[in-house]
Structure 1
């Protein structure tokens, strides 16, 4: 059956591909242009005045004038923006704040401006159009598309709307996709995740679903509920389902499980969105890595990850990066973030064009399900749980258990006690409650029944010491990572027979 929408998608995709290739094939000039525009636009802001933007002509000047900062360092400026002041980090006021889970002091407020907001929407759109241009597959645009996301209900703070990025973006779905888009606005506004997923299942089952998008852990739950309800593979329920779009966490650990739930292979597109910017998307089906967005109001700098904690690590631009090196990515944006460390590490898989993979975080963390749990949070949770008791902890580390033999996935805590607790289950519950209180993403995953509460695995006396010895890192400045995003340490502890 002929479809105008499907037919029009192909020439539109070709046109967009042509404009993308134009900047992708001129990367250095593109980034230089972005840099100059950012500096000149922000010269009259408070930040621009404090850092003498009028005297910045090139990257070297910028490095001398503007130190690398994380959110905590930039917070004094952000707080003034949140308070309603104008022309602080960027001209005027932001149009939104993306509210995210903070690292050391509660919620973070990431500004989104009228200049930066369109780049989030365009990058997501362009990822799909590049796929159409490459594969010629455009039939899916006639079917229904689901984007599993946060609630689009926004709060207001000093006249500026705030919410989770996915909820903000929901307000920007183009008109030509509104009829295709699911779930309904009412369902999208449901706060309780399990209730929301059940409602989404009921809404989508009768529909011709062709595109499904979201963080893999959330989508897996949706798929499992469909299978539970229909006793069929997802691919049999949605016969025209042909494209899975994901971002936020590494898809690899989920791939086998997804193919089993779907019952066949489907094409996928990986995205690299964040509240701070939409950094990259997969532009080729058979190429590793995602195309770095060089023309989206973001100027990129990179610091080698193994040099990052040195006194004055070298900051380089894309012209000096190498394939296969682990870099901390530093960004300056048209939302008013300057030499900002988002905490991610990336590796270039190609420099013609510039493609990246997300290799991890500069600090140890767990985000196997999108929870972004950090070292400070696990340390504080354990500290609170043992406070006032006679329990003494020798050492511990935490790892995700993605594929348990039974039940839901969970965080596995490997703990060596000086004196073991009388009630291990009670301690598990105390730690888990503290972690949920500190980290809203982790709370959502537990509440949404994506994860079950943590489990403790006991380590034998001197177990961690023997582990560090086995890897040649006993003593000196070597520290056991408090948490990992994979199970390398966990597997070693079990293999070395160090667990009880």
Structure 2
């Protein structure tokens, strides 16, 4: 008997709740806001902004927009044991995320409410929506491989931890969930990534793995090591019942062809999730539609700033009901982890309403706009996909930055690309990428007109493992860390180019 058919019945009620997103989105979000405000009314933050007398959204808007820097003082006090500051009680878990201008890392509070009503709900709903999309699944007939990070004590406070969100989730996961996942907790939480990969490969190759979850770039490292140890050509030979990869953290586009080459089973599914240190926000509900369903009944209230207004002192901020399809927005969240009107840093574009579905288009800080071209990560991914298709190439990792003016007074975009399969012509790859970006982005096209402002982009081929080595040198292997895709400055690019040159000189 297929146990998934029986266990799957436990998800039917939740699937029906999600169906209400089609018709009751505004009411659901209003209830979420009411719940968050009421619960936080007697915190220090709630008293400052008089939460007891907030009755509707327009009154809530008197709370100023926040970023990490504006909340840092309260978060630092919370990390030292103070309670009832941003959220009721004492928060003992902190998700370590990439840093800010003034700090190497951010420490995002993860309250018990947030753990249960945001992060774990997202994981459960990923399964609920996947089983609906794939009714013949044998998901529960085997194990799930969850690739996690690591954690460490927080200021030596009892039971208080700081680390990757995935490590916090694994540390606190239900004992029942532990029965259906691999590797063992002590392996999943190892802090040295390369050793962790080795132990995962050693302990999982003989298990019946039906599903895998993690960041695509780091999961590739695990898959490759497993294939090396077993001598198998594809992962199907090792795990013949593997059927789904729940992926998130970075765009899957650059990795899609590599996964198709390593997992050849035509029944393999890929489901995108939008889970960040700050919360779990979206799930792919239709495996044929890349847009994700915005999860609106968690402990997250959403607002949105039109991207062109992000840096204005008084931007026009709208709730979910006020968004327009096809427009880029910066996401603003209020959550049961104590983040209030917090600018997340991600940009999204809605593809439909009722229910609200969206795609991630980039980061408010991850784009190139050195010459007014406003090149977004979403543009870059689409352009690379076309160039790969035209030349037979496969891109493993990449990063791009502007060249403001070279010795010949020429300005351009410089792309550093690590290929897993070289294009049949690097020049043609460059030309297709450049032409595609002009077609996709009218601002880039205007700046490229007759080579007046921007000249044709430049491609530099990265040596194998360059980006891995760059992340390792910066202490950012594994976990939530990722290669910066588009940068408006040259700091990262210059570091990578030096490392690329150092290695090549030593070869």
Give TM-score scaled by structure 1 length.
0.74
Paired residue for 1:177? 177
Given the superposition, is the C-alpha separation of residues 372 and 263 from structure 1 closer, same or farther in structure 2, using an over 3 Å criterion? Answer: closer
1:158-214 CA-to-partner distances (Å, cap 9, x unmatched) read 443322110010034333332321112232233221221122112111121111111
For residue 82 of structure 1, the aligned residue among 79, 82, 87 is 79
Paired residue for 1:283? 285
Equivalences for residues 81-480 of structure 1 within 5 A: 81-104=78-101, 105-118=103-116, 119-151=118-150, 155=154, 157-159=156-158, 160-229=160-229, 230-265=231-266, 266-364=268-366, 399-403=415-419, 440-441=475-476, 444=477
Paired residue for 1:66? 63
1:120 shift after superposition: 0.5
2:112 is paired with a residue of what secondary structure? coil
1:363-394 CA-to-partner distances (Å, cap 9, x unmatched) read 1269999999999xx99xxxxxxxxxxxxx99
Paired residue for 1:33? 31
Contact 2:148 2:214 in 1 (8 A): yes
* Cα distance in 2, alignment partners of residues 398 and 80 from structure 1: 43
* Cα distance in 2, alignment partners of residues 239 and 353 from structure 1: 35
1:417-444 CA-to-partner distances (Å, cap 9, x unmatched) read xxxxxxxxxxxxxx9999867x543xx1
1:404 shift after superposition: 5.4
* Cα distance in 2, alignment partners of residues 86 and 293 from structure 1: 29
Given the superposition, is the C-alpha separation of residues 435 and 16 from structure 1 closer, same or farther in structure 2, using an over 3 Å criterion? Answer: closer
Contact 2:399 2:417 in 1 (8 A): no
* Cα distance in 2, alignment partners of residues 267 and 44 from structure 1: 46
Contact 1:147 1:214 in 2 (8 A): yes
Contact 1:28 1:318 in 2 (8 A): yes
Contact 2:188 2:196 in 1 (8 A): yes
1:155 shift after superposition: 4.5
Structure 1: unaligned runs, 5 residues or longer: 380-392, 407-430, 455-479, 491-500
1:302-335 CA-to-partner distances (Å, cap 9, x unmatched) read 0100121123110101111111110000001111
1:232 shift after superposition: 2.1
Give TM-score scaled by structure 2 length.
0.74
1:84-119 CA-to-partner distances (Å, cap 9, x unmatched) read 222111111113111223122122221111211112
1:216 shift after superposition: 0.5
* Cα distance in 2, alignment partners of residues 83 and 236 from structure 1: 50
